[in-house]
Amino acid sequence: MRDIEQMTSTPEATNHSAPRELTDGFHLVIDALKLNGIDTIFGLPGIPITDLTRMAQADGMRVISFRHEQNAGNAAAIAGFLTQKPGICLTVSAPGFLNGLTALANATTNCFPMILISGSSEREIVDLQQGDYEEMDQLAVARPHAKAAFRVLHAEDIGVGVARAIRAAVSGRPGGVYLDLPAKLFSQAMDAAAGRDSLIKVIDPAPRQIPAPDAVSRALRVLREARRPLIILGKGAAYAQADAEIQALIEKTGIPYLPMSMAKGLLPDTHELSAAPARSYVLAQADVVMLIGARLNWLLAHGKGKTWGGKDARSPGQTKFIQIDIAPTEMDSNVAIDAPLVGDIGSCVSALLTGLGSWPKPPADWMSAIAERKSKNLSKMLETLSQNPPVMNFHSALAVVRDIVEANPEAILVNEGANALDFTRSIVNMSKPRKRLDVGTWGVMGIGMGFCVGAAVVTGQPVIAIEGDSAFGFSGMEVETICRYNLPVCVVILNNNGVYRGTDINATGGADPAPTVFVKNARYELLMEAFGGVGVQAKTKAELRAGMEAAIRSGRPTLINAIIDETAGTESGRITSLNPASAATKK
């Protein structure tokens, strides 16, 4: 609370001075966030920020307290992705900060706007290495992993620090920002009126960046010359929330499109122009590709190799690229970009629409070839999904998930794992944008429960998490957080007793299990029951369906332990080639 200070240094002062209202660093941080429309903090209380969490809650902010800072950071990051406002993660110093650092780095890599705020030791003690409690130069550690990093030493600078952090997080290419707040900053007092005047409401934090007219003309010219055009949508396109413009561009040009995993649902996966079921074919055959909010990184084979019709892994194919990105430095990162289009996605796509004029439909032979492969692959997939083996496998279990998601289009799907990720991405259709959240650019495990909490808190929508049993282990304790806040989250663990599968054997014949094998027949559902949620063990498709339908209907925290064949699964999902020892292991 604000204090009233009575000036009493002398009798004269007592008689003639009016009481002076004071504020402090605690309240200035809270007021600066609230002034900028930030009403939720994800974090973990402890010295020196425990009182800050109490005061923030007392001041009307929602404070979601976690069991591990990395999960709080992931919640903040995905909240930023969904809302276009920086999600706030609050941690204690040193170890707590380091726990949050992984989420900060992942947010920066994936262009999720978030701000990691950490308490820290005093600057003068850190610099002399005098051994303070949890002493660490956190600003120096954070800088390489964040889009920007700032430290505030004086209460009157809190408004500037928060404003700079917000603008850095959301402007241009979004990312993670670190804000360092030494412990004694919080108790610094200053005149309340001066404190209010020191706060900054950020105006237009993410201004539009209009593309150059000649760049638009160049992109349209390259696209018009294509015989086998393709549009690739990345999660940047989903973040931009230019859904109507992107759909109009695709439908007016008639160009087939391929959504990356978190762009699924920008147009329904069942849309006639979706080339996802013919992914390998269109990547290898396309002669002009327009990238919208997608990067030519490892997820797209760096634009090189046989994936793109090249002769070997290092050679580019004959594909021409048009790339829409707000960061000019992204262009030419792996291969030459023939038509770079720099600007925010909404402005770039709108400019392209304006310049379309009378646009010819793509050649019939290209469209018919895609349609033929789509039909063949979809038929094979439907045949596989219709099977009902005595012990569920990935396909039979995900056939149920597919139906549940289709029946509940507002639900948000969180997905992580190896095979659990790959199979879900290709089997479960999305019909609305920003409804699929997954491991992103790094493929990092452990985002699951943090993403569930963040998505449920900022959207109020039901969340369905499809987890490999290995991936769940990274953040599984947060089911207590889900229960504590009574969030409408249904976690489905595809349990095959291990990493990739549960059948590996210790080659030495020793008593220790193989490194990839877990405790057999683990009862994960009891973990949710321990905290007051609903636990279900599902051994059949019918039991899985009943459990998921009940969870969606009730909105209660639910964990379904879906038992699948332990022989199901392949090493590293679809990226076995990235394991340098895999070939030798198989000899």
Has residue 537 got a pLDDT over 50?
Answer: yes
Instruction: Pick the closest to residue 14 from 26, 5, 22 (CA basis).
Output: 5
Can you tell me the distance from the alpha carbon of 315 to that of 565, in angstroms, rounded to the nearest whole number? Answer: 40
CB count in 10 Å sphere of residue 153: 15
Contact 309, 285 (CB under 8 A): yes
Has residue 337 got a pLDDT over 80?
Answer: yes
Look at residue 254 in the predicted model and tell me its pLDDT. Answer: 98
Tens-digit pLDDT profile for residues 512-532: 999 999 999 999 999 999 999
The region of weakest confidence among 407-421, 510-524, 568-582 is 568-582
Q: What is the mean pLDDT of residues 337-366?
A: 97
Averaged pLDDT of the chain: 94
Q: What is the mean pLDDT of residues 3-11?
A: 41
- The HSE-up count of residue 88 (CA atoms within 13 Å, CB side) is 26
Instruction: Pick the closest to residue 252 from 175, 359, 327, 345 (CA basis).
Output: 359
Has residue 258 got a pLDDT over 50?
Answer: yes
Tens-digit pLDDT profile for residues 386-401: 999 999 999 999 999 9
Can you tell me the distance from the alpha carbon of 79 to that of 87, in angstroms, rounded to the nearest whole number? Answer: 5
Has residue 246 got a pLDDT over 50?
Answer: yes
Can you tell me the distance from the alpha carbon of 556 to that of 340, in angstroms, rounded to the nearest whole number? Answer: 48
Has residue 582 got a pLDDT over 60?
Answer: no
3-state secondary structure 39-80: CEEEECCCCCCHHHHHHHHHCCCEEEECCCHHHHHHHHHHHH
Has residue 503 got a pLDDT over 80?
Answer: yes
Look at residue 18 in the predicted model and tell me its pLDDT. Answer: 63
Has residue 571 got a pLDDT over 90?
Answer: no
Instruction: Tell me the β-bridge partners of 137.
Output: none
The region of weakest confidence among 47-61, 122-136, 282-296, 363-377 is 122-136
Instruction: Pick the closest to residue 261 from 280, 292, 235 (CA basis).
Output: 235
Tens-digit pLDDT profile for residues 125-150: 888 888 888 889 999 999 999 999 99
Contact 169, 177 (CB under 8 A): yes
Please measure the distance between the N-terminal and C-terminal CA atoms of the chain and give it in whole angstroms: 69
Q: Is the pTM for the entire model greater than 0.85?
A: yes
Has residue 6 got a pLDDT over 50?
Answer: no
Look at residue 8 in the predicted model and tell me its pLDDT. Answer: 36
Instruction: Pick the closest to residue 187 from 27, 46, 337 (CA basis).
Output: 27
